[in-house]
Structure 1
Amino acid sequence: MSKPVIRSFAEFQQYEGTELGVSDWHTITQEQINLFADATLDHQWIHLDSERAKAESPFGNTIAHGYLTVALLPHFWAQVVSVENIKMQVNYEIESLRFGQAVPVNSRVRLRVKVLSVKNLRGIAKAQLEVSMEVEGEKKPAYTGVITFLYHFNE
C-alpha cells in the first residue's frame, strides 16, 4: 500500500481521526546504541556493556536508550506519510509520552500513527499525532504518546 501524500492544510485535515499507517521495521543495533550514547553523553552500562547486562540486567542484554527510540520518530514518520509543499516542519511538542517496555539490542521496532487533530494556527498546520512504537513479537509497545508537528505549507 502506498503512503498518503499531503500537500496542504486541507488535505492534512481530511485524515483527522484516522490511522495513517505503520512504518517499516527497523533493527536497533548495538552500533546505533553506541553512537547515540556518544552523541548524548549517556554511557550507562545497561546500554553499552553487554557482558554486564547479560549477568545483571533483568533484560538479559543491552537495551536501547528510551530517547533513542523517540529520536527515530521523524525517520519513521517519513515512512508513514509524505508531507510535501512545505517551507519547513517544526517539532513542537511531545505529550503524555509513556515508556511501556525496554527495547533490547537487535529488536525490530516500527511506528504506528493516528492523526488526532489538525488545527490552523494563522496559516500554520498544527498536527497532533498519536504514536505507538511496536516491538516485534511483544504485546506491549516500547512507548505511546502524542506528538505535535507544525507545518508551514507553501500556499
Structure 2
Amino acid sequence: MTSPIDAALAATEAKIGLEIGVSNWITVDQAMIDSFAETTHDDQWIHVDPARAASESPFGGTIAHGFLTLSLASRFAYDCFPPLPGQVMAINYGFNKLRFLTPVPAGCRLRGRFTVKSAKKRSATELLRENVLTVEIDGRDTPALVADWLGMVVFPAPS
C-alpha cells in the first residue's frame, strides 16, 4: 500500500513543468495599499499620496508595495492548491528566486499562475514542492513578479 506522502510525491512529479492553477483576480485598490502601508509602517509617498504620485512619480499615480503584491501569493495559492489526500498542513518554506518586474498601479487586478518546478520527499512526513509563481497584471504583458516558491506539505507520521 502506498503511503499518502509517496502518492503525493508521485502525483506532483508527474506534473513537473505543467501549469497547475490560475487563481481568481484580486483588485489592489488604494484602500488595500493604505492598509498595507499602515501595517508595515512603509508609508513612502509613491504608495500613499495619490496627488503627489500623480504629479511627481514616473508611474502616473500610486503603486502597490512589492511586498504587498508578494503577500497576495498565499491567497492565490488557496485558489490553486487543494489539500492533498492525507495532508495535515502546508507551510510557506520561502523562495529560491524572486523578481519584481513591473510596478502595480493602484486599481489594477492581479492573479497568480502556478507551474510545478520540483518535488522531493524530505522525510517520512515532509514533501517539499517548488512552484513557479507568476503574478499577472490584468491587461499588461509583463508580470508584476515571478518567483520560485517553496512549500512544505506535512503528512502524519507513519504508523
Q: Tell me if TM exceeds 0.5.
A: yes
Note the residue ranges of structure 1 that are not aligned, 5 or more in a row.
Answer: 1-6
Task: Check conservation: 1:114, 1:131, Cα contact below 8 A.
Answer: yes
Q: Which residue of 2 aligns with 1:93?
A: 94
Letter in 2 for 1:90: I
Letter in 2 for 1:128: E
Q: How does 1:11-22 map to 2 (within 5 A)?
A: 11-22=11-22
1:49 aligns with 2:49: yes
1:119 aligns with 2:120: yes
2:13 and 2:78 map into 1 onto residues whose CA distance is 18
1:37 aligns with 2:56: no
CA-CA distance at 1:11 after TM superposition? 3.0
SS at match of 2:88: strand
Letter in 2 for 1:112: R
Normalising to structure 1: TM-score of the pair? 0.90
SS at match of 2:149: strand
Note the residue ranges of structure 2 that are not aligned, 5 or more in a row.
Answer: 1-6
Higher CA-based Rg: 2
Match of residue 146, structure 2, among 144, 147, 154: 144
2:123 and 2:17 map into 1 onto residues whose CA distance is 22
CA-CA distance at 1:91 after TM superposition? 1.1
CA-CA distance at 1:88 after TM superposition? 2.1
CA-CA distance at 1:16 after TM superposition? 2.0
1:130 and 1:41 map into 2 onto residues whose CA distance is 29
Name the CA shift for 1:71/1:108 in 2 (closer, same or farther; >3 Å): same
Query: Which protein is richer in strand relative to its size?
Result: 1
More deviation, 7-16/98-107: 7-16
Q: How big is the alpha-carbon RMSD for the aligned residues of Structure 1 and Structure 2?
A: 1.4
Structure 1 stretches (4+) deviating beyond 6 angstroms?
Answer: none
1:24 and 1:146 map into 2 onto residues whose CA distance is 20
CA-CA distance at 1:90 after TM superposition? 1.4
How many residues align? The count is 149
1:94 and 1:152 map into 2 onto residues whose CA distance is 18
Which digits, 9 at most, give the CA deviation of each residue in 1:4-62, with x for residues without a partner?
A: xxx83333333222110211111101111111111111010000000000000111111
Query: Identity of aligned pairs, percent?
Result: 36
Q: How does 1:70-89 map to 2 (within 5 A)?
A: 70-84=70-84, 85-89=86-90
Which digits, 9 at most, give the CA deviation of each residue in 1:100-140, with x for residues without a partner?
A: 11000000111110000110001211000001111011111
